[in-house]
Structure 1
Amino acid sequence: MSADLPFFRYHPDPLATGSIRAGAETCACCKRARGWIYTASFYTAQDVDARFCPWCIADGSAAERFAGDFADSYGLDGVSEEVVHEVTRRTPGFRAWQDPRWLVHCQDAAAFVGEVGYADLVEHPGALERLRADMRIDGRHDEGRLERFLSGLGQDATAMLFRCTVCGAHLAYADAS
């Protein structure tokens, strides 16, 4: 990540994930063109072009000024209100086919690593096994169908990969159109 961008604990490389990109657009909050612009979702009842610079995201001014969130609090069970606030109002969100959700591990929000396919997920066996277990609980897949679905990640579906900020464990959830 570029050294001049703010650091986001729960989304450490928003350039790699595509949530922030180089751009000449003007930030809807500070009205400045700073060379970087946010590209993912912003949830608000107001009519606003959700083009924000990373600095207005990091300091919370964009979320405060437009009474909105960059991520839903869904999935952030068991973490402090401060962590919920940092993830939803001071961290870049990410694009997903379904409603994005943030994962939790060790009583803290996990850091979003990015969208991955099966080949990338195999490099993180703990995340793959947790995803298998979650999908078994879901009950929609028998073992054969589950393995076909997982091996097809990266085509019709993808996995959202996270890393625990406390212990470093990787976890994931499946996202499909």
Structure 2
Amino acid sequence: MTVNSLLPAFRYHPDPVASGSIRQSGETCECCHRARGWIYTATFYTVHEVSGRFCPWCIADGSAAERFAGEFTDPHGLEGIGEEILHEITRRTPGFHSWQDPHWLAHCRDAAAFVGEVGYAELAAHPEALDQLRLDLRLGGRHDAGQLEQFLAHLGEDATAMLFRCIACGAHVAYADAS
């Protein structure tokens, strides 16, 4: 039995243990008040004071987001997808750690699945994601090709890439995250 078979399944974040968003813990869930052996460690946005963390089950069933009127992920980047998918990503899917505000990517009119934080070597294994990231960074003001390639070559050091996989076609997309 694998670790992930013990946890609820998250369609858009298939391995939250590997990404560091969920870890083993004896902590009690702020929502269900049970210590279930696993706890969420990443972002949660709410106006309410929340003194503890949530178990994966209270994330998966939406009870944590509903009880504390919050979201695990900023909806930025998810424009144009259906309301049901947006709700699943923001309120029933674990977010992830990043230096800047994390956001989810979409592809084929659906949210993409979060693969994880990667450096250049991992990103280069997905040339479509690397090409898309190059284009995004050029459009974002990094016009000098040499400087851009230098930046990409050092992903994993002072900056990283957040890699996603399209649920529909399997293509990979990414965005850069830096301190």
Which residue among 37, 49, 72 is the counterpart of 1:70? Answer: 72
Report the TM-score when normalising by structure 1.
Answer: 0.98
Q: Does the aligned pair in 1 maintain the 2:4–2:15 contact within 8 Å?
A: no
Match of 1:165 in 2: 167
Match of 1:91 in 2: 93
Deviation string 1:73-101 (CA, Å, 9 cap, x unpaired) is 00001100001100000000001101101
Match of 1:117 in 2: 119
Instruction: Give me the whole-angstrom Cα distance separating, in 1, the residues matched to 2:137 and 2:49.
Output: 37
Q: CA RMSD in A?
A: 0.8
Q: Unpaired runs of 5+ in structure 2?
A: none
Amino acid at match of 1:129: D
Match of 1:137 in 2: 139
Amino acid at match of 1:43: Y
Instruction: Give me the whole-angstrom Cα distance separating, in 2, the residues matched to 1:49 and 1:71.
Output: 19
Deviation of 1:4 after TM superposition, in Å, equals 1.6
Residue 9 of structure 2 aligns to a residue in which SS?
coil
Q: Unpaired runs of 5+ in structure 1?
A: none
Residue 172 of structure 1 aligns to a residue in which SS?
strand
Give the 4+ runs in structure 1 shifted more than 4 A: none
Amino acid at match of 2:60: A
Match of 1:100 in 2: 102
Residue 4 of structure 2 aligns to a residue in which SS?
coil
Q: Does the aligned pair in 1 maintain the 2:77–2:105 contact within 8 Å?
A: yes
Report the TM-score when normalising by structure 2.
Answer: 0.97
Question: Aligned pairs, how many?
Answer: 177
Deviation string 1:139-162 (CA, Å, 9 cap, x unpaired) is 234100000000000000000000
Deviation string 1:114-165 (CA, Å, 9 cap, x unpaired) is 0000011010111000000111111234100000000000000000000000
Corresponding position: 1:174 with 2:176: yes
Amino acid at match of 1:128: L
